[in-house]
Amino acid sequence: MPEGKIIKALSGFYYVLDGDKIIQCRGRGVFRKNKITPLVGDEVVFQAENAQEGYILEVKERKNELVRPPIANVDQAILVFSAVEPVFSTTLLDRFLVLVEFNQIKPLICITKMDLVEEGLEVEIQNYANQYREAGYEVLMTSSETAEGVKELFPYLEGQISVFAGQSGVGKSSLLNALNPMLELKTNDISSHLGRGKHTTRHVELISIANGLVADTPGFSSLEFIDLEVEDLNYCFPDIQLKSEECKFRGCLHLAEPKCAVKLAVENGEIPSYRYDHYKDFIEEIRDRKPRY
């Protein structure tokens, strides 16, 4: 039986890429019975009824799965954050990074709208970029208007399934249009009343760019730490995890424990204080989370 990858799901149809052909498929009733929903990104076995249509018979095992947006087998998340309009937020970025790390997806931080940054603010944004690089992340500075940094994105996309994510109005669709002008994805100006952009992306679809597949999504519509436990958080901050190996006590949460290497690194300026503050805030949020039954 032929195999392929779902690149779009729309109105009960799944569009399966097999080589250079796209087959419009429906799911067999057995999926509903077994409560399996095929997702964009799934590797599937299908049966072709003719050259254009067929049925999905089997969904292969997934390496990861996001609920919102509904997509599977993601290799990396391009976290798109604007330097201005809306303002750069380390709190929101760290929240995205934790969710991405928890789902075992490689993050790439992409700071957009650099053409709008005034000189004084540019130093601040560059400092943030360097601090995140020192924490172990890849960071690119881009502008969809001037094409600054856009070409540097291409090598990251090759051979990968990538999700573009970030808050509304940061320029995800504009950046994708800059990568491939043929896309002509809709973009909306930021509402001056709300201070944010409107969602313009209606469904998840994998688009071929730079020999890779890219999903333009409305971002993570849920940024809550639903499945994350306190013990997981250490592993979602690579800079904190690295220093935690030097802590005296195994299982140190870096809160009130003595001889904690992480707290010492914060005092010495090796870990930015805002990263540690976010870590503590996230622990408190997880502890205050209402139990699910």
pLDDT tens by residue, 157-200 = 999 999 988 887 888 888 888 888 777 666 654 333 323 344 44
Query: What is the pLDDT of the chain when averaged over all its residues?
Result: 87
**Picking from 44-53, 187-196, 256-265, which range would have the lowest pLDDT averaged per residue?**
187-196
The pLDDT of residue 190 is 34
pTM for this entry: 0.86
The pLDDT of residue 196 is 37
Q: State the chain's maximal CA–CA distance in angstroms.
A: 68
| CA gap 212, 235 in Å, rounded | 28
Residue 268's pLDDT band, with cuts at 50, 70 and 90, is very high
* Pair 219, 113: CB distance under 8 Å: no
| CA gap 22, 16 in Å, rounded | 5
Span 137-158, pLDDT tens digits: 999 999 999 999 999 999 999 9
Span 64-118, pLDDT tens digits: 988 777 899 999 999 999 999 999 999 999 999 999 999 899 999 999 999 999 9
Strands 53-59 vs 21-27: parallel, antiparallel or unpaired: parallel
How buried is 254 (Cβ within 10 angstroms: 0-12 exposed, 13-18 middle, 19+ buried)?
buried
Write down the residue that tokens 């391009």 correspond to.
78
**Positive or negative: CA dihedral 111, 167, 200, 74:** positive
The residue among 67, 61, 102 whose CA lies nearest residue 204 is 67
> What distance lies between CA 6 and its chain's CA centroid?
19
The pLDDT of residue 218 is 53
* Pair 137, 242: CB distance under 8 Å: no
* Pair 197, 168: CB distance under 8 Å: yes
> What distance lies between CA 185 and its chain's CA centroid?
19
The pLDDT of residue 69 is 75
Residue 119's pLDDT band, with cuts at 50, 70 and 90, is confident
| CA gap 272, 278 in Å, rounded | 10
Strands 76-82 vs 71-72: parallel, antiparallel or unpaired: unpaired
* Pair 44, 59: CB distance under 8 Å: yes
Q: Which SS3 state, helix, strand or coil, does residue 90 take?
A: helix
The pLDDT of residue 219 is 55
The pLDDT of residue 194 is 29
The pLDDT of residue 67 is 77
**Picking from 101-110, 185-194, 241-250, 282-291, which range would have the lowest pLDDT averaged per residue?**
185-194
Inform me whether the pLDDT recorded for 202 exceeds 70: no
Beta strands across the sheet bearing 138-141 = 138-141, 106-112, 76-82, 161-165, 212-216, 206-209
Domains (range + CATH), the chain: 3-61 (2.40.50.140), 71-216 (3.40.50.300), 230-287 (1.10.40.50)
Q: What are phi and psi of 17, to 5 degrees?
A: -90, 120
Write down the residue that tokens 């805030």 correspond to.
281
Residue 201's pLDDT band, with cuts at 50, 70 and 90, is very low
As beta bridge partners, residue 6 has 16
Amino acid at 53: E
The pLDDT of residue 4 is 95
The pLDDT of residue 197 is 40
The pLDDT of residue 121 is 93
The pLDDT of residue 293 is 55
Residue 28's pLDDT band, with cuts at 50, 70 and 90, is confident
How buried is 94 (Cβ within 10 angstroms: 0-12 exposed, 13-18 middle, 19+ buried)?
buried
